[in-house]
Structure 1
C-alpha cells in the first residue's frame, strides 16, 4: 500500500472488551501493536461513561508506550478526558461540527460514511478522515444502512480526497482486494480481537497490506 501522508496508519484496530475472545482485551491490544497495528480505536457501547474513561485510560498507557495514536469512538467526554489523538463518530452521534467547536476536542475527527451523498453534507468540512462502513455486513456493526463492497469503494475513491478507512467483515482473505479498490487504511475487529494469536494475525494482515497497492483496474 502507498502510505497516505494525511493518514499514515494502514492497519487500524477497532477494539472492545466484548469482541476479545481468547485473551484479555488489553493484552490483545499490545500484541496487535507488536504485530504491526498502526492505530487503535476503542469502541465501547455498553458501559457507563465512568467505565469507558477507565478503559480508555488503561489502553492509552499502552498506546502511549508504543507511540500509537488512540481514537475514541462516539464519546467526546471520554476523548477529552484521556486527551486522545482522535475521535470517531457516526451519523447519529454527536456531529463533527459540534466536536470541532469544543475547546478541548481531539485534533482528528473521523466520520462514518454510509452513503455517498454524505460527501455533499456541510459536516464534511469538519471531518479529517472517513470510515467507509461497512464494506461487508458484519455482526460487530449492525446499525448501518447497506454495504459498500469492492465496487462501492472503487466508485467512492475518486469522489473525495479524504483518507478512506474501510471497516466491516475484513480478514486475510479479502484485505488485498480492499487495498486494491482504494482503502487508505483497513480497520479490523474480529480478525484480530477474535484470534487466538493476535500478534500473528496482525503480522499476516500487515504483510498483505504492504504487498498490495491501489489498482482500480483489478476490480
Structure 2
C-alpha cells in the first residue's frame, strides 16, 4: 500500500460471513437489502466479501445501481436484469429518487436546518479521502435538518441532492460537525463509537416494470 493512503481502522470481524443478507424486498427485477455497516457494497480490490458477492451466491447475477460506503449501513437496491438497471439508474441520475440518511454528528449544531454547497474532488495523494476544491471540485449539495440533541451530539436527517463519494461525511466535517465514528474525517473522536453513525434510512423510486412508487423506510440501530 502506497504511502499517504488512508484505510478504515474499523474492526469488521463482527460482520457475519455466512452469505445471508435477508432482502427487504425481492422480485424478478430488483432486490432491496439492508447493508450492514462494515460490509462493502461491491467487491473491492483486496476484499471480495460484499453485498453483491453474497447475493450472487444465492440469487445469481446482481447488477449495481448505486452504492453505500463500507462503513455506512442502510437501504441498497440492486437490479436483476439490464432493463431494471438502466431504468432505476436513470432515476438516480435525474434525481427523481428520494434519499434520506440519518446520522449522529459531534457537538450541537446551531439552528434547525441548513444547506451545504461545497464542491468535492478526490484527494489523490490520500485517497480514498475526498476534499473540497472550489476550482476543480464537482458540484455537491447536502441539506440537513436537526432531529434531536443527545449527550452533547446532534442527530440529523441528511438529504443529499447529489451523490458524490463521501459527500455526507465530508460536508458535515466541513461545517465543524463530523459524523460520530467516522475514522476518515472525525479524528480521535471516531474512536469513541464502534461504527460510523450514518444510515441510509429512506429510499423512494419507481419500480422499473410496473412504474409503482416504491417507498422503503428502515430505522438505524444507533
Q: TM-score, normalised by structure 1?
A: 0.29
Q: Which has the higher helix share?
A: 1
Q: TM-score, normalised by structure 2?
A: 0.29
Structure scoring higher RCO (CA < 8 A, sep ≥ 6) equals: 1
Which has the higher Rg, Structure 1 or Structure 2?
A: 2
